[in-house]
A = this chain, B = another copy of it.
């Protein structure tokens, strides 16, 4: 599986943004936390986790997909959706379309969420991965629409859903539309739940705002990567407003686990196997006699619009 990480050319994009590893001569990577150098081949073999201090570097959506799917199995859905400019938004001399164009160029992605179907060691599933490099993976209309379409396809094709989420917050440039994506995506998940298909949410660094307060935290299983920062309000906002010093480790994955907010923390090298195990359990349950055959939930599924 480690080899997969380098094998899919379409999804090998260099990491972008503030967390990008410094690679002095393309052979060594310097860890921003422990300052140790790691030989770049080892760094890739370790799935971009510092072998010294376990710091999990941020990954691009493409790297995530490579890491969690069988080679060549990922079939992208709705790749053609791109941001509109419903508010005619401009700030500081830059229009929203300009900002989107810059984001596309920098990230190599067309929007902040990539969705599709894939296989994990043969197991079929639906996958949605946020691209933090695209405007901080803020949840705009395209993010919401692509996720909802993916959920609807998962229901149609009876696929379990895995989401990998990261977000800096709202897409200010689509203000009310951005806000409503929280309701829209969560409503779609209510239907996934009525169809009794599982949603496994993976939260990776950083995950804040509307994404945390909507589809991710009502998942059936919530997994976080070690050290990931996860919360509703950002730490600087809280510090400014409350004028209190934040507790040690505040909003880390470990803090959330202790406070009962996530199911487990999975180091990156165990994540794929953990998801595979979970998918097996849900697939097995689907064939069991105690599965409700009908009832209120099922009848709602058959409503006129469905």
Contacts and interface: CB of A to CB of B under 8 A. Distances in A.
Interface string A286-306: 000000000111010000000
Interface in A249-306: 295-297, 299
A299 B295 CA distance: 9
Nearest to A298: B296
How many copies the complex holds: the figure is 2
A136 B233 CA distance: 50
Contacts of A299: 295
Nearest to A295: B296
A297 B296 CA distance: 9
Contacts of A296: 295-297
Contacts of A295: 295-296, 299
Nearest to A297: B296
A146 to B, nearest CB: 33
A297 to B, nearest CB: 8
A296 B295 CA distance: 5
Contacts of A297: 296
A190 to B, nearest CB: 16
Interface string A140-167: 0000000000000000000000000000
A297 B299 CA distance: 13
Interface in A6-51: none
A303 to B, nearest CB: 13
A296 B298 CA distance: 10
A230 to B, nearest CB: 25
A295 B295 CA distance: 6
A25 B90 CA distance: 86
Most chain B beta-carbon contacts within 10 A, residue among A296, A297, A299: A296
A58 to B, nearest CB: 39
Nearest to A292: B296
A99 to B, nearest CB: 44
A296 B296 CA distance: 6
A57 B299 CA distance: 53
A295 B300 CA distance: 10
A300 to B, nearest CB: 10
A296 B297 CA distance: 9
A269 to B, nearest CB: 42
A265 B243 CA distance: 36
Nearest to A299: B295
A299 B294 CA distance: 11
A96 to B, nearest CB: 42
A215 B212 CA distance: 36
Interface of A: 295-297, 299
A-B pairs, top 5 by smallest CB distance, nearest first, are: A295-B296, A296-B296, A295-B295, A296-B297, A295-B299
5 contacts: A295-B295, A295-B296, A295-B299, A296-B296, A296-B297
